[in-house]
Amino acid sequence: MYDIDHYVAGRSIPGRSGRFGPVYDPARGIEQARVAMASAAEVDAAVGSAAEAFPGWRATALSRHAEVLFAFREILNARKGELAAVLTSEHGKVLNDALGEVSRGLENVDFACGIPHLLQGSFSEQVSNGVDVTTVRQPLGVCAGITPFNFPAMVPLWMLAGAIACGNTFVLKPSEKDPSASVLLARWFSEAGLPPGVLNVVHGDKEAVDRLLEHPQVKAISFVGSTPVARSIHQRATAGGKRVQALGGAKNHMVVLPDADLDLAADAAVSAAYGSAGERCMAISVVVPVGEIAQPLVDAIRRRLPAIRIGAGSDPAAEMGPLITAAHRDRVASYLDAARAEGATLVADGREVTVGGVTSNGSGFFLGVSLIDHVEPSMAVYRDEIFGPVLAVTRADSFAAAVDLINRNPWGNGCALFTRDGGAARRFQFEVECGMVGINVPIPVPVAWHSFGGWKDSLFGDLHIYGPEGIRFYTRAKVITSRWPDPATSRVDLGFPQNR
């Protein structure tokens, strides 16, 4: 057992609220640490530290910002194995997947290293006689980030890299379920030369988040998590005058047209549905085969399932680890009986899995992979975000019916089409109401120099996260109109200013 402390003003700060939360080792099903839960006063201390650090960091040369990011990038790259091991230990994902997560986070740091270029403003010379106009982008001040359990390193890096590079200071409230990665990132930023107070980490739950939402010195909130919380955070923080991007949950569909390569589509569906035990906001949770490919596709997916190796994330042979908590595992499993009761067909039942001789109800929070066919949009297994290794199949009669299904779904994070028909692909990407679309790519997470974000109930706010939209989110524009007149020609003129 160990304690996980806050990190404020460049120092580890033990919690003083007297409240702690359990941090499990999901592969063994035991509590391995306890995390301090911040009180409002502890959040205030972190925001105070960020506010104090802001004027100095804002005034620091851009080239220095880039230098710190480069140094941090080197540290992160050199120690990615250490970070991945922490992710595996607290989240449960397999080491290889954890390393992939770190690499995608690293890309955001790579992008932010180009901050001097990204913050270049614009200039118009001689817009009127002797008048020039310049637009610059300036940081907002103290920004806060609230992150989910499923990407304990990558999602914080989506926010931190851009926010800090732009000259803001930051308070991060990571998921209380796997909080150690955030503290490690903050320590490594300090080691890279980030001044104390520029990045602070406070742990906690709703109490800490509520204080961040109402704190007058917090200018912007980036949130990633489930839809109900995202919606509420967006409403409350915008009402308080803050800038907000709140990314929510998802139900990602993968449409397979009859002309698609069957094996390629089946491989993609299995990888995208069960990777990271389905605990990815871009996981495929519904496959939509169109027409006669339905039965062959279901058979091809089913044939691949027994080969998936489930085990502790630290086992190099394992391809899929446990779920985050016992409660989440049981909630996911509850959808299987519910689906059968509603008339769907349980093609594969993940509750029957054994890991190291123990069934999925044994010590770790394991659940095997499930495949459910003949799922209708009215069923709970379709309506809810399950966030586990459960793949639903909703058959469609036509391309138009498949697109209509996606467009009627309240979420719009990602979706994919598998086909060899370029015309169908063009029509799909034009018509579908989703923020991120894959054509023969099942998990279309944009690279770091594009931005990430869904539509509809998957994102509340106007700007997507990271990439160019991230830079816009963490800065505000200022337009300077200047003239250096010759004092000899100066006179009083009460007329409306003219361009001449």
Please list, residue by residue across 231-252, b when 16 or more beta carbons sit within 10 angstroms of its beta carbon and e when fewer do.
Answer: eebbebbeeeebbbbbbbbbbb
Give 44 or 210: the residue with its C-beta nearer to ligand NAD. Answer: 210
Q: Is 226 in the site for ligand NAD (CB under 6 A)?
A: yes
Q: How far is the CB of 274 from ligand NAD (least distance, A)?
A: 16
Question: What is each CA distance from 225 to 9, 45, 138, 254, 351, in whole angstroms?
Answer: 26, 25, 28, 22, 26
CA dihedral 57→60→65→67, nearest 10 degrees, is: -130
The answer to the question of residue 225 lying near ligand NAD (CB under 6 A) is: yes
Q: How far apart are CA 479 and CA 135, in angstroms?
A: 4
Q: Identify which of residues 236 and 340 has a Cβ nearer to ligand NAD in the complex.
A: 236
User: Given candidates 229, 254, 406, 471, which one binds ligand NAD under the rule CB under 6 A?
Assistant: 229
Pick from 39, 200, 276, 413: which binds ligand NAD (CB under 6 A)?
A: 413
Judge whether 424 and 257 are in contact, CB under 8 Å: yes
By CB under 6 A, tell whether 205 contacts ligand NAD: yes
Tell me if residue 308 falls in helix, strand or coil. coil
**Of these, 313, 412, 454, 467, which contacts ligand NAD (CB under 6 A)?**
454
Please tell me whether residue 224 binds ligand NAD under the rule CB under 6 A.
yes
Report the residue number, 206 or 426, with the smaller CB distance to ligand NAD: 206
Q: Which C-beta is closer to ligand NAD: that of 45 or that of 282?
A: 282
If one asks whether residue 252 binds ligand NAD (CB under 6 A), the answer comes out as no
Binding-site member from 33, 47, 113, 146 for ligand NAD (CB under 6 A): 146
- Is-catalytic flag, 434? no
Q: Does 388 interact with ligand NAD (rule: CB under 6 A)?
A: no
49, exposed or middle or buried, with CB in 10 Å at 0-12, 13-18, 19+? buried
**Piece in contact with ligand NAD (CB under 6 A), picked from 19-27, 84-92, 219-227, 389-397:** 219-227
User: Closest separation between CB of residue 186 and ligand NAD, Å?
Assistant: 16
Task: For the CB of residue 422, give the shortest distance to ligand NAD in the complex, in Å.
Answer: 29
Smallest gap from residue 254 Cβ to ligand NAD (A): 16
List, as one string, the DSSP characters of 345-412: EEEE-GGG-EETTEETTSSS-----EEEES--TTSHHHHS---SSEEEE--BSSHHHHHHHHHHSSEE
Comparison of 137 and 234: residue with beta carbon closer to ligand NAD:
234
Q: Nearer Cβ to ligand NAD, position 399 or 452?
A: 452
Give the C-alpha separation, 45 to 202, whole Å.
10
Catalytic residue among 113, 143, 166, 281: 281
Name the one range near ligand NAD by CB under 6 A: 74-82, 144-152, 339-347, 436-444: 144-152
Nearest to 470 by CA among 444, 445, 456, 451: 451
Rule CB under 6 A: is residue 364 a binding residue for ligand NAD? no
Nearest-CA neighbor of 149 among 87, 228, 84, 234? 87
End-to-end C-alpha distance for the chain, whole angstroms: 74
Residues 6+ apart with CB under 8 A from 372: 336, 339, 344, 345, 346, 347, 381, 390, 391, 392, 393
Tokens for 443, please give them: 């998990």
Among 209, 256, 265, 437, binds ligand NAD (CB under 6 A): 209
Number of residues that bind ligand NAD (CB under 6 A): 27
The residues carrying an active-site annotation are 281
Residues of the shown chain interacting with ligand NAD in the complex, contacts defined by CB under 6 A? 146-151, 155, 173, 175-176, 205-206, 209, 224-226, 229, 247-250, 281, 385, 387, 413, 454, 458
